[in-house]
A and B are shown apart, each in its own frame.
Chain A
Amino acid sequence: MTASGNQSKIQHISMANSELKKRTVVIDPVEPAVTPPPATSDTAFLKKPKLGTGRGKKRDIPEGLWTKCPKCENLIYDKELDANLKICPKCEHHFPIGARERIHSLVETCSFEEMDPEMESVDVLHFTGAASYESKLAANRKSSLLKDSIITGIGQLAHHRIALGVMDFSFLGGSMGSVVGEKLARLIEAGTDKGLPVIIFCTSGGARMYEGMFSLMQMAKTCGALAYHAKKRLPYISVLVHPCYAGVMASFASVGDLILAEPGAMIGFAGPRVIKDTTQAELPPGFQTSEFLREHGLVDSIVARKELKDRLRSYLDFLKPDPTPS
Chain B
Amino acid sequence: MKHHLDFEKPIVELQRKLDDLRTHPEMHSLGISFEEEIRLIERELHETKRQVFSNLSPWQRVQLARHPKRPYTLDYVRSVFTDFSELHGDRHFADDRAVVGGFARLGGDRVMVLGTQKGRDTKENILRNFGSAHPEGYRKALRLMKLADKFGIPIITLIDTAGAYPGIGAEERHIGEAIAVNLREMMLLEVPTIAAVIGEGGSGGALGIGVADRVLVLENAYYSVISPEGCASILWKDRAAASKAAAALRITARDLLELRLVDDVVPEPIGGAHTDPLAASVLLKKRLLHHLAEIRILSVEDRQRLRYEKFRAFGRVHEPLAAA
Interface bits B1-45 vs A (CB < 8 Å: 1, else 0): 111111000000000000000000000000000000000000000
In angstroms, Cα B259 to Cα A19, docked, is: 27
Interface bits B56-67 vs A (CB < 8 Å: 1, else 0): 000000011011
Which of these, B166, B181, B225, B314, contacts A207 with CB under 8 Å? B225
In angstroms, Cα B244 to Cα A5, docked, is: 20
Is there a chain B Cβ closer than 8 Å to A212's Cβ?
Answer: yes
Is there a chain B Cβ closer than 8 Å to A261's Cβ?
Answer: no
Expressed in whole angstroms, the minimum distance between the Cβ of A94 and any Cβ of chain B is 21
In angstroms, Cα B224 to Cα A209, docked, is: 9
Which of these, B1, B119, B207, contacts A216 with CB under 8 Å? B207
Contact check, A127 vs B248: say whether CB atoms are below 8 A apart: yes
Are A224 and B64 also in contact (CB < 8 A) when A214-B316, A250-B204, A269-B164 are? no
Expressed in whole angstroms, the minimum distance between the Cβ of B235 and any Cβ of chain A is 3
Contact partners of B249 in chain A: CB under 8 A: 125, 209, 212-213
Number of A-B contacts (CB under 8 A): 285
In angstroms, Cα B233 to Cα A217, docked, is: 23
The interface size of chain A toward B, counting residues with CB under 8 Å, comes to 84
Contact check, B171 vs A287: say whether CB atoms are below 8 A apart: yes
In angstroms, Cα B181 to Cα A212, docked, is: 22
| Residues of B224-280 contacting chain A, CB below 8 A | 224-227, 230-231, 233-237, 244-245, 248-251, 256, 259, 261
Is there a chain B Cβ closer than 8 Å to A314's Cβ?
Answer: no
Which of these, A2, A9, A249, A251, contacts B63 with CB under 8 Å? A2
Expressed in whole angstroms, the minimum distance between the Cβ of A223 and any Cβ of chain B is 4
Are A2 and B163 also in contact (CB < 8 A) when A221-B311, A223-B184, A298-B174 are? no
Interface bits A273-291 vs B (CB < 8 Å: 1, else 0): 0110011010110011000
Contact check, A7 vs B66: say whether CB atoms are below 8 A apart: yes
Are A213 and B225 also in contact (CB < 8 A) when A178-B316, A269-B171 are? yes
Contact partners of A178 in chain B: CB under 8 A: 314-317
| Band of interface residues on B | 35 or more
Contact partners of B211 in chain A: CB under 8 A: 220, 224
Which of these, B64, B259, B317, contacts A182 with CB under 8 Å? B317
| Residues of A1-33 contacting chain B, CB below 8 A | 1-7, 9-16, 18-19, 31-33
Contact check, B176 vs A209: say whether CB atoms are below 8 A apart: no
Are A12 and B176 also in contact (CB < 8 A) when A178-B317, A275-B171 are? no
Interface bits B171-193 vs A (CB < 8 Å: 1, else 0): 11111110111011101100000
